[in-house]
Amino acid sequence: MITDDRIIFGLLAAVLAFVFVTRDSPAWKKFYTFIPIILVCYLLPSLMVTFGLINVDESNLWPVAKDFFLPAALFLMTLSIDMKGILGLGSKALIMFFTGTIGIVIGGPIALWIVAQFDPAIVGTGADAAWRGLATLAGSWIGGGANQTAMLEVYGFNIENYSALIAVDIIVANIWMAFLLYGAGDSKRVDGWLKADSSAIDRLRDKMADYTASVERVASANDYVLLFGATFAVVGICHLGGTFLGQTFANLQGEEATLASSFFWVVVISTTLGLLASFTRARSLEGVGASKFGTVFIFLLVAVIGTKMNILKIADAPSFMIIGLIWMLIHSVLMLAVARIIRAPFFFVAVGSKANVGGAASAPVVAAAFHPALAPVGVLLAVLGYAVGTYGAILCAFMMARIV
């Protein structure tokens, strides 16, 4: 079993290289017709963990990916954004986002009630009460890690049992992500079932792709140094500003407040700087491959996210795992039902869901699975998820506490 991060990262890079090489091979054409490339890049690392090839329990790869690859990707993918085009996507994006939030808020109490009918002991009492632990799950699935930690502190769930909720969070959320990535690979068929008009998304995708083609040029070493220098200078600024703002709000509102999370501010600052740069001459960096390098960072993120899922851990907390699966099923069914009613494209279903359940680390990944140029849409909705996460989790916890 490999535990050295340097070796694990090399294996993940080799996996990505293997997938991209085979994608262009005629022998693999049928395979990638049915299985999206981004899903393969996600599942292969998870299988490496599941079958014991690598062990990431003590790994620092996720902090590195989150702190370096993510803000770099957000900046590079947002640099060439067409803000007017995104705003032109209309109200369906927001409707699907808030549908996802509602699905999490009502899904928790329903799932807990269903499982409690067969396993009354799961309800628990005092600090071991299930609703206290599930409140942390609601915080994670509406906002993110900061909201999850806030709910843990607010409701005082027994920390000794908290690891079971972490396993449910990671495994269930990533199972759902696998389905979304698969759907992204066959989105036209899903849109057909939803009777959706995806023309606005197609126009935005084509417009941004056309812009890339119009400014593309043969890059020099100077161009690449400028691109990477600017990108990682922005990453540094994001962490400088994120640390300062997070500490400031921690002093004002307490350590558990959403705005006290430095990661929240890293996401906001990197996205904001990318948006601002898109109105300047810096947008021409798209011509030397800004979004392409952003895509590389996205795929590195996907590979690292894949290592966080060990399918065998489902057996560690069966009742909580069943609650999580039912909960996510309610969320997904509601998303698809509303999408069919309003004829929203599957893109809005996937991104609206992951903006809740995955936040800034996953929403742009899923959006990029449709097309790299669409990643900024996921970022913008994910930031909205941070804003409503605490309130939605409190409401969900209030309803779960009434189940005895």
Nearest alpha-carbon partner for 40 in 369, 284, 399: 369
φ/ψ (deg, to 5) at 181: -65, -35
List the single range of 220-224, 236-240, 364-368 with lowest mean pLDDT.
Answer: 364-368
d(CA 221, CA 228): 11
Residue-level pLDDT at 23: 83
Q: Examine the pLDDT at 113 and tell me if it is beyond 60.
A: yes
Tokens of 202: 């197609």
Q: Tell me if 213 is assigned to some domain.
A: yes
Q: Tell me if 117 is assigned to some domain.
A: yes
Domain tally for the chain? 1
Neighbouring residues of 287: CB distance < 8 A, sequence distance ≥ 6: 212, 215, 216, 217, 219
Q: Examine the pLDDT at 372 and tell me if it is beyond 60.
A: yes
Q: How many residues does the chain have?
A: 404
Q: How confident is the model at residue 159 (pLDDT cuts 50, 70, 90)?
A: low
Tokens of 375: 């990643």
**Section 25-49 average pLDDT:** 81
Residue-level pLDDT at 216: 77
d(CA 395, CA 147): 13
Q: Tell me if 189 is assigned to some domain.
A: yes
Range of the domain at 234: 82-288+313-400
Q: Examine the pLDDT at 337 and tell me if it is beyond 90.
A: yes
Predicted TM-score (pTM) above 0.85: no
**Section 244-254 average pLDDT:** 89
Q: Tell me if 134 is assigned to some domain.
A: yes
- For every residue of 160-193, DSSP letters joined together read GGHHHHHHHHHHHHHHHHHHHHHHHTTHHHHHHH
The C-alpha torsion from 314 through 320 and 321 to 324, rounded to 10°, is -150
**Section 161-172 average pLDDT:** 76
Residue-level pLDDT at 14: 96
Q: How confident is the model at residue 7 (pLDDT cuts 50, 70, 90)?
A: very high
The secondary element (H helix, E strand) that includes residue 382 is helix 375-400
Residue-level pLDDT at 82: 63
Q: Tell me if 269 is assigned to some domain.
A: yes
Q: Tell me if 27 is assigned to some domain.
A: no
Q: Tell me if 60 is assigned to some domain.
A: no
Residue-level pLDDT at 111: 93
Q: Tell me if 373 is assigned to some domain.
A: yes
Task: Map residue 2 onto helix, strand or coil.
Answer: strand
381 with 352: CB under 8 angstroms?
A: yes
Higher per-residue pLDDT: 319 or 204: 319
Residue-level pLDDT at 106: 94
d(CA 294, CA 75): 8
Q: How confident is the model at residue 378 (pLDDT cuts 50, 70, 90)?
A: confident
The per-residue pLDDT for range 126-135, each reduced to its tens digit, is 877 888 888 8
Q: Examine the pLDDT at 40 and tell me if it is beyond 90.
A: no
Residue-level pLDDT at 380: 73
The secondary element (H helix, E strand) that includes residue 374 is none
Residue-level pLDDT at 241: 95
Neighbouring residues of 344: CB distance < 8 A, sequence distance ≥ 6: 92, 95, 96, 194, 196, 338
The strand pairing partners of 2, in sequence order, are 54
Q: Examine the pLDDT at 205 and tell me if it is beyond 80.
A: no
Helices (H), 254-307: 262-277, 290-306
Q: Examine the pLDDT at 280 and tell me if it is beyond 90.
A: no
